[in-house]
Amino acid sequence: MAILDDGLSPEAMLAFYQRLYPFKSIFHWLNHEPAPSRLFVNREFAFTLQGDVYLRYNSFANADELKKQVCTLNPTRFEIGPMYSARPRDKKTVRPAAFKPLQRELVFDIDMTDYDSVRRCCSEANICSRCWVFIAAAVKVLDCSIRDQFGYKHLLWVYSGRRGIHLWVSDQEAMELTDEERRAIANYLTVVGGGKETKKKVNVRQGSKPLPPGIGEFINLLQGVFPPLILQDQDSFAGEAGAEELLALLPANAQTEPLRKKWTANPDKSSEEKWDDIRNQVKILGKATASGKLLLAAMEDIVLQYTWPRIDAEVSKHRNHLLKAPFCVHPKTGRVCVPVDPTRIDEFDPATVPTVGQLLKEVDEAMVINNEDGAEGAQHLPGKSLFSQHRSPRKAVSSHELGEGMFSLHDLQPSESRSMSAYAFTDRLPAFFPSRR
């Protein structure tokens, strides 16, 4: 079967679900144990069909049933919701009081569009490797915060297929969080606030008091991200508009008038030079003086305003929020929503994530090679590679290892070996299974 388009046709989607989508792995990840439990059986799946028909409250007894229904409906994507107190498919027949969301992964959504006010390379749906650096910084902070401050261990980062990233936290304690507790966590992690009209969007302390500990511990990391990203690459404070943007974030009572004069007289100054001017102004005022301290605090707040993770808090606050399943296909880009290794987030390049069309083509080619070799045909993928550009040798992965379709998650690797870990999902999969209490 040769499907050489971008993978967005219904035929390609069906082939993807039939041959590639890792239903068994998704089952194990959601269910936490081998035999189907309420975590899977009472779990809501929502399907978006061709023509934007939306089907909610589906549920399934096991991975095979899920696969069968997905292949029957052939949705453009599907989403995962909470585990309810009853099976979602029975919703109409149970009393409303007996149908409540009980457990759900703690989820986060970071979307590039929330960075439109601070990125200059792209806007709206567009994304490039330069603005992905904002996402990379967000992943580092959020991953560390969730592990260290909240003590969660079972984190799964998933590229959203276009311009963002999702985080799923599967620890049992996280699964059991109430909406109120989720709201508290989302609020705790929201540092950049206010609408378009709000210039100063970080207000987490009074005057020049130290940053709250949960934020302060990341200031060093972000002060490392800020110069190359904001001052150099994005050059956010260039020109008169940039100067005004920066001046609006400086405290009025910190004697910053000399800066305005300097920048007005010399409009070609780069962002870096302007930042150095502020630093010098702190020296002139004296670090220990009230004005000097205010200005230093303002500099930290500016770093936070430009680099702190911008989470879509609404996604995190409610147990019954639906989020696109890992390994679905983004309907606009055709790219697969692959897991991402947070420790190698700097190496991840969204442009190298395979599309459905690419994957199907490579599977077809692998089958041809296999058949020519007289090997085990469709049951085994060639050991060398599913991907023609694959660099590192690895052993063949039989279809029964994950018990599905044509290939295992081992094979969801990008063409460049340097970012291979981005999709090396099965290697780390056990780490995502929270231990049962």
The residue among 55 and 122 lying less far from Zn ion, judged by its C-beta, is 122
Binding mask 306-345 for Zn ion (x = CB under 5 A): ----------------------------------------
For residue 232, the minimal CB distance to Zn ion (Å) is 14
The residue among 103 and 236 lying less far from Zn ion, judged by its C-beta, is 236
Q: How far apart are CA 13 and CA 17, in angstroms?
A: 6
Stretch that binds Zn ion, among 3-11, 116-124, 389-397, 413-421 (CB under 5 A): 116-124
For residue 21, the minimal CB distance to Zn ion (Å) is 30
The residue among 229 and 278 lying less far from Zn ion, judged by its C-beta, is 229
For residue 121, the minimal CB distance to Zn ion (Å) is 3
Amino acid at 158: V
How buried is residue 365: exposed, middle or buried, by Cβ count under 10 Å (0-12/13-18/19+)?
A: middle
- Cβ proximity of 376 and 397 under 8 Å: no
For residue 341, the minimal CB distance to Zn ion (Å) is 22
Complete DSSP assignment for 46-67? EEEETTTEEEEEE--SSHHHHH
The residue among 17 and 132 lying less far from Zn ion, judged by its C-beta, is 132
Kindly give the pairing relationship between strand 43-49 and strand 53-58: antiparallel
The residue among 108 and 115 lying less far from Zn ion, judged by its C-beta, is 115
Stretch that binds Zn ion, among 114-122, 238-246, 293-301, 305-313 (CB under 5 A): 114-122
- Rule CB under 5 A: say whether 122 interacts with Zn ion: yes
Kindly state the tokens that stand for 252: 């009025």
Stretch that binds Zn ion, among 34-42, 102-110, 121-129, 238-246 (CB under 5 A): 121-129
Sign of CA dihedral 257, 260, 262, 265: negative
State which H helix or E strand residue 45 sits in: strand 43-49
Residue of the chain from 71, 94, 121, 144 that contacts Zn ion (CB under 5 A)? 121
Active-site residue identified among 5, 6, 52, 111: 111
The interaxial angle of helices 271-285 and 239-247, nearest 10 deg, is 30
- Cβ proximity of 124 and 228 under 8 Å: no
- Rule CB under 5 A: say whether 131 interacts with Zn ion: yes
Residues ≥6 apart with Cβ < 8 Å to 372: none
Q: How far apart are CA 56 and CA 63, in angstroms?
A: 18
Residue of the chain from 73, 128, 369, 429 that contacts Zn ion (CB under 5 A)? 128
Residue of the chain from 77, 91, 130, 147 that contacts Zn ion (CB under 5 A)? 130
Among positions 27-66, residues that touch Zn ion (CB under 5 A) are none
The residue among 125 and 368 lying less far from Zn ion, judged by its C-beta, is 125
For residue 410, the minimal CB distance to Zn ion (Å) is 31
For residue 272, the minimal CB distance to Zn ion (Å) is 20
Kindly state the tokens that stand for 315: 């996604």
Q: Kindly report the CA angle at 313 between 58 and 302, in degrees rounded to 5?
A: 155
Active-site residue identified among 109, 300, 312, 404: 109
- Cβ proximity of 413 and 420 under 8 Å: yes
* Eight-class DSSP state of 377: G
Nearest Cα neighbor of 237 from 228, 245, 229 is 245
3-state secondary structure of 87: coil
Percent helix, percent strand, percent coil in the chain, to nearest 5: 50, 10, 40
- Rule CB under 5 A: say whether 94 interacts with Zn ion: no
For residue 130, the minimal CB distance to Zn ion (Å) is 5
User: Which residues pair with residue 43 across a beta bridge?
Assistant: 83
The residue among 133 and 299 lying less far from Zn ion, judged by its C-beta, is 133
Stretch that binds Zn ion, among 21-29, 122-130, 134-142, 204-212 (CB under 5 A): 122-130
Total of chain residues touching Zn ion, rule CB under 5 A:
5
Amino acid at 297: A
Q: How far apart are CA 46 and CA 49, in angstroms?
A: 10
Stretch that binds Zn ion, among 123-131, 157-165, 339-347, 383-391 (CB under 5 A): 123-131
Q: How far apart are CA 275 and CA 132, in angstroms?
A: 23
Active-site residue identified among 6, 11, 33, 44: 44
Among positions 274-293, residues that touch Zn ion (CB under 5 A) are none
Place of tokens 């780390």: 428
The residue among 290 and 351 lying less far from Zn ion, judged by its C-beta, is 351
Alpha carbon 417 to its chain centroid, in Å, reads 21
For residue 128, the minimal CB distance to Zn ion (Å) is 3
Stretch that binds Zn ion, among 3-11, 99-107, 125-133, 168-176 (CB under 5 A): 125-133
Active site residue 109: yes
Catalytic residues: 44, 109, 111
Residues that bind Zn ion (CB under 5 A): 121-122, 128, 130-131
